[in-house]
Each structure stands twice: as structure tokens, then as C-alpha cells.
Amino acid sequence: MPELTVQLGNRSYPVLLDDPRSFVEVLRDSVPAQRYAVVTNDTIAGIYGDLLDSWRSELDPVMHIMPDGEQYKHIGTWKEVLDTLLEARLDRGTVIIALGGGVIGDIAGFAAASFLRGVRFVQVPTTLLAMVDSSVGGKTGVNHSMGKNLIGAFHQPSLVWIDTKFLATLPQREFRSGYAEVFKTAFIGGRDAFDFITDTHDRILQQQRDAVCEAIRRSVEIKAGIVAEDEREAGKRALLNFGHTFAHALEKYYDYTGILHGEAVHWGMHCAIDLARRTSMLPKEDAERYDAMIGRILHPQLPTRPTGEALFSAMFSDKKVSDGKLRFILPTVPGTSEIRADIPRSAVMETLEEVFGGGFSSAG
Ligand SMILES: NC(=O)c1ccc[n+]([C@@H]2O[C@H](COP(=O)([O-])OP(=O)(O)OC[C@H]3O[C@@H](n4cnc5c(N)ncnc54)[C@H](O)[C@@H]3O)[C@@H](O)[C@H]2O)c1
């Protein structure tokens, strides 16, 4: 039963992976409360009705079931969660349980951050992306028409409960999308992480259980270490955004429809490696290893071919633009990346032309 701790002093919390005990037993023990509230969506409530029924009988929680989809990750849906909590007259001792993927975790976490000025919450991630990334680290929030995740708060959970059995019902496309956040650890988690992804890539995509569990464990460990050092993203935490400068531009370009977050990150990682090659950051002796890595990046189908100019301007709407400068996380030696704010526009445009210009295709 691998257990990790996100070390944040008196706000430290455990991340339990495939713990053999029952969730309710652990919850009652480590995050006791008079009342619990569960936030989930209608898809998950449909698939996991039996689980919710057992929680109903054991915990008698207040339930809030929202519609499914990134398009509902907005301030109106967040207000509806708060309405449910207030109408049930819950108090500050309440614990909110987020059962779902990153959308549910982000909204429920933001509701927990703001309800009565902050209550505890627990993440029960059900997608690969949420298991390896969004459930850990305390970033919560919602989208605004001006851009993604523009409204939110840092609010750490009290417990992250990862049960990989949820992955059995996850659509294949969602699994591959979530894998982007695992693959990215090859570029920020040290040489050992690079070697692990190189060796285990195929077995993870075949969803071999031991490989998937180990990938989750390692990804969480890397993220927990970075968050413990830099909770508020003053420096090192930005490394977790490897590939994301391009990815966020793609998501914005397609107005967040027709492309999943992880799919955009796959393309963004390809761009980041290409840009690093162009700006001579990759040691010659490692170039072949990077070529091999590029060959392994999934290239999901894009709705239409994007234009370089439009993608470049979409990059400036990202909240991570500071002083009007684009920041890129670019690989250096295998397993390591650097944050750069000095990359010329011409190099970025060349990369966009290289990656998207010449008739890309679905390599699924
Ligand atoms: N807070 C953070 O640090 C952080 C980090 C990365 C991404 N995010 C956010 O996470 C979101 C993306 O998360 P996601 O990829 O998990 O998407 P998601 O939450 O939309 O879930 C993807 C789809 O899978 C369904 N689903 C979830 N679990 C399932 C299961 N076990 N079986 C069957 N279907 C299931 C969902 O209902 C949904 O339709 C984005 O909003 C992104 O901004 C946040």
C-alpha cells in the first residue's frame, strides 16, 4: 500500500494509492466530520451509483451532482455547489468529497476554499489525469470567458484517495489524454523518470496494471516534491507546466471544444522539444534520445489545422504570461527542464510551422 505525503508543515496530507482499507473507514479516521458533502457529476453518478448508495448509507452526505463537462467549470456551477451547501445549513466542520476528474476536483476544491471562508476537502480522483496531477497540489478554480482557470484559490486537500479500479471504466481517449501528465514527468522528474518513461511507455498505454500503478506513484511523488518546495508557484512549480504554454494556446484556439487538456499537452510537449532543439538547449549526445521520445508522443487528431499566427497570439491570453513575456519550459539534459522567458518569436514561429504546418495527421 504505497503512501506518500505532501509535506506542507501543518497542512501536510497523505496520498493513498490502492489502499486495502475501505475509503469510509479511512475518511472517518483521518478526516472526521459531523457532515460530509459529495460533489460529482451525472456521468460518474450513473456509473458509480452503487458506490454512492453505500456512501449514502454510511455517511449520509449532502449530494451535489453537476452536469458533466469542462464547459460547466465556471462560476455559475461553483455558485450552485455553494447553494447546495448553504441550503443544507452545513457548518465549518463540513468536509467536501470531490469524486471525479479534474473538473470536479477543481470546482469542489474551490467551493471548499470559499464556503464559510474555507472547509476541508478530500480528493477521490477517477481519471488518470486527476490521479497523477490535478488532485494533488491544491490548485482549485474555474474558467472564465477570458481564459482557463482564471478564478480560483490555493487550497490543499486533507486526503487524496487514489483507487485505480476507477480507471476500468474510463474511456480510452481520456486515459491517453491523462497519460500526457505522466509522460511530462520524463522531462522534469530527473534522469530516472526519463528512463522509467522510456522503458515503460508501451506497458502503461496497454494499461498493464503494475506499470500504471508505478507510473501514478512516481508522478505523484514528483509532483508532491515540487509542491512541497514551491506551493504557490513562485519558481520551481512552473516546471509542472512543461508543454503547457503551447497546450493552453491550442485549447484556447479551439475554444476548449474538440480537444482534451491532455491531448493539447501531448502536442505542446512536441513543440517544447522542437523549440529546445532550435534554441540549442539539447546536448548533441542526447539528441537521439529526444528524437525517440518525440516519436513516442501521441498526436491526437486536431479539429482543424491551427495557424501559427493565431496560436502565437492565443499564448498571450494565458495567465502565466508575465510582463508581456511568454515563458516556456524547455528540456535540457534528459529528465531536466528550464524556465525560459527569452525565446525569440521567430524560433517559436518556426516550431509552430514545423509541428503544425506540414500536414499533421492522427497518430493516435
Ligand atoms: N488543479 C490542477 O492542478 C489541475 C491540473 C491539471 C488539470 N486540471 C484541470 O483538470 C481538468 C481536466 O481533468 P480530466 O482530464 O480529469 O477531465 P474531466 O474531469 O472532464 O473528466 C473527463 C471525462 O471522464 C469522465 N470520467 C471521469 N472519471 C471516470 C471514470 N472513472 N469512468 C468513466 N468516465 C469517467 C468525466 O465525467 C468526463 O466526462 C481541466 O479542467 C484542467 O484544467 C487541474
The CA distance from 229 to 280, in Å, is 29
Q: What is the pLDDT of residue 280?
A: 81
Catalytic residue among 244, 266, 270, 278: 244
Inter-residue contact 81 to 111 (CB < 8 Å) = yes
Q: What is the pLDDT of residue 286?
A: 86
Query: Does ligand 1 come within 6 angstroms of the Cβ of 261?
Result: yes
The CA distance from 97 to 296, in Å, is 36
pLDDT digits (tens, 9 = 90+) for 276-302: 999 988 888 888 888 898 899 999 999
Query: Does ligand 1 come within 6 angstroms of the Cβ of 133?
Result: yes
Q: Whose CA is nearest to atom 44 of ligand 1?
A: 134
What is the per-residue DSSP string for 225-245? HHHHH-TT-SSGGGGGGTTHH
Angle between helices 244-253 and 308-315 (to 10 degrees): 110
The CA distance from 197 to 208, in Å, is 14
Q: What are phi and psi of 246, to 5 degrees?
A: -70, -40
**238-271: buried (b, 16+ CB within 10 Å) or exposed (e) per residue?**
bbbbbbbbbbbbbbbbbebeebbbbbbbbbbbbb
Query: Does ligand 1 come within 6 angstroms of the Cβ of 129?
Result: yes
Q: What is the 183 CA–ligand 1 centroid distance (Å)?
A: 17
- pTM value is 0.95
Q: What is the pLDDT of residue 246?
A: 96
Q: What are phi and psi of 11, to 5 degrees?
A: -110, 20
Q: What is the 122 CA–ligand 1 centroid distance (Å)?
A: 16
Q: Whose CA is nearest to atom 22 of ligand 1?
A: 101
Classify burial at 188, counting beta carbons within 10 Å of its beta carbon; exposed 0-12, middle 13-18, buried 19 or more. buried
Classify burial at 182, counting beta carbons within 10 Å of its beta carbon; exposed 0-12, middle 13-18, buried 19 or more. buried
Strand ranges inside 116-238, DSSP E: 120-125, 139-144, 147-154, 159-162
- Residue 209's alpha-carbon distances to 23, 205, 232, 291, in angstroms, are 21, 10, 33, 28
- Tell me which DSSP letter residue 286 carries: G
Closest of 297, 250, 249 to residue 273, by C-alpha:
297
The CA distance from 105 to 175, in Å, is 17
Q: What is the pLDDT of residue 361?
A: 43
Classify burial at 87, counting beta carbons within 10 Å of its beta carbon; exposed 0-12, middle 13-18, buried 19 or more. exposed
Inter-residue contact 199 to 293 (CB < 8 Å) = no
Q: For residue 254, what is its C-alpha cell?
A: 479551439
Q: Whose CA is nearest to atom 5 of ligand 1?
A: 134
Inter-residue contact 82 to 110 (CB < 8 Å) = no
How many Cα atoms sit within 13 Å of 321 on the Cβ side?
A: 16
Q: What is the 281 CA–ligand 1 centroid distance (Å)?
A: 33
Q: What is the 109 CA–ligand 1 centroid distance (Å)?
A: 13
CB neighbour list of residue 145: distance below 8 Å, 6 or more residues apart:
none
Inter-residue contact 273 to 186 (CB < 8 Å) = no
The CA distance from 273 to 183, in Å, is 13
Is 319 noted as a catalytic residue in this protein? no
Q: What is the 283 CA–ligand 1 centroid distance (Å)?
A: 36
SS3 label, residue 124: strand
pLDDT digits (tens, 9 = 90+) for 132-141: 999 999 999 9
CB neighbour list of residue 64: distance below 8 Å, 6 or more residues apart:
37, 38, 39, 40, 80, 81, 84, 85
Query: Does ligand 1 come within 6 angstroms of the Cβ of 139?
Result: yes
Is 237 noted as a catalytic residue in this protein? yes
Catalytic residue among 233, 289, 299, 354: 233
pLDDT in tens, the chain (364 residues): 557 999 999 999 999 999 999 999 999 999 999 999 999 999 999 999 999 999 999 999 999 999 999 999 999 999 999 999 999 999 999 999 999 999 999 999 999 999 999 999 999 999 999 999 999 999 999 998 888 899 999 999 999 999 999 999 999 999 999 999 999 999 999 999 999 999 999 999 999 999 999 999 999 999 999 999 999 999 999 999 999 999 999 999 998 889 999 999 999 999 999 999 999 888 888 888 888 988 999 999 999 999 999 999 998 877 666 667 899 999 999 999 999 999 999 999 999 999 998 644 444 3
Q: What is the 107 CA–ligand 1 centroid distance (Å)?
A: 11
Inter-residue contact 175 to 128 (CB < 8 Å) = yes
Is 79 noted as a catalytic residue in this protein? no
Inter-residue contact 310 to 353 (CB < 8 Å) = no
Query: Does ligand 1 come within 6 angstroms of the Cβ of 169?
Result: yes
Is 338 noted as a catalytic residue in this protein? no
Catalytic residue among 41, 64, 241, 266: 241
